[in-house]
Amino acid sequence: MADIRTELSGIKLDNPIIPASGTFGFGAEFSHLYDINILGSFSFKGTTKEPRFGNPTPRIAECREGMINSVGLANPGIDKVISEELPALREIFHKPIIANISGFSVDEYKYCCDRINKEDQVEIIEVNISCPNVHAGGMAFGTSPDAAAEVTAAVKSVTDKPVYMKLSPNVTSITDIAKACEAAGADGISLINTLLGMRIDIRRGRPVIANKMGGFSGPAIFPVAVRMIYQVYDAVNIPIIGMGGVSTAEDVIEMMMAGASAVEVGAQNLVDPYVCPKIIERLPILCKELGIEKLTDIIGKAHG
């Protein structure tokens, strides 16, 4: 039987499969379907300082090979996550937890990471820098190396937990952003977040989503994710959590060969809520077929 264990910043995972933030709630929604402790880890719903209802509806649009969402970081806020969601999650999930933190200013990121740093249940902080910077005209933090580095340094100043910066693919050079985060102290990189997409209702002649545009995810973005992971693996010396269009065990192997140490499964959870256990079950079989004895041996294998 192949060894499918992996590791992120010294934290050992039984397997590399992690439900992506925003597609798995706080775990309870899926815990009645299967034992979520079969997962390697779990990135909970993106959390901000204040509670957020999210963007106006409609905020979901179907696409061929994917979906567009403009949910708008709907969440109960950091205080309620710490007082209610985390204790409830720990009752049903006994493995490393990844906290996904979002913000609209450097101070908000810093505040939330300082708060979550005190929680023993959380072992990794994943910082989503695809959020619009309200102090810079709405430009996402993750589109500028300087802004990405500023958030990274601010977060690292208040936490001793591993920090993984979640990068937006909507940039000219993903490697410049990743290198800036590494230089500012990031312990790892998560990529990719959603691409920017749009659908138009041709009967109404209006955008499907109230916010007009949203994050495009699903199988169609997988090749883009693989390309960016490959590029970032060559550019930095810190671990990568890969994501973007993953729906099969074959996708997981491909991402790890590109350079990922673990892989998040996102939109496919909404299509098939059993996709993660299916991938975990298939991985050892696929490894045997491919002659892989130890999954960590293939990390970055596609690089010459």
- Active-site residues, by number, are 131
- 59 CB-near residues (< 8 Å, 6+ apart): 69, 70, 71, 72, 209, 210, 211, 214
Token representation of residue 1: 């039987």
What 139-143 contacts at long range (C-beta under 8 Å, 24+ apart), as own/partner pairs, is 140/168, 140/170, 142/166, 142/167, 142/168, 142/171, 142/177, 142/193, 143/168, 143/170, 143/171, 143/177
Q: What is the DSSP letter of 212?
A: S
- 131 CB-near residues (< 8 Å, 6+ apart): 73, 102, 103, 104, 140, 141
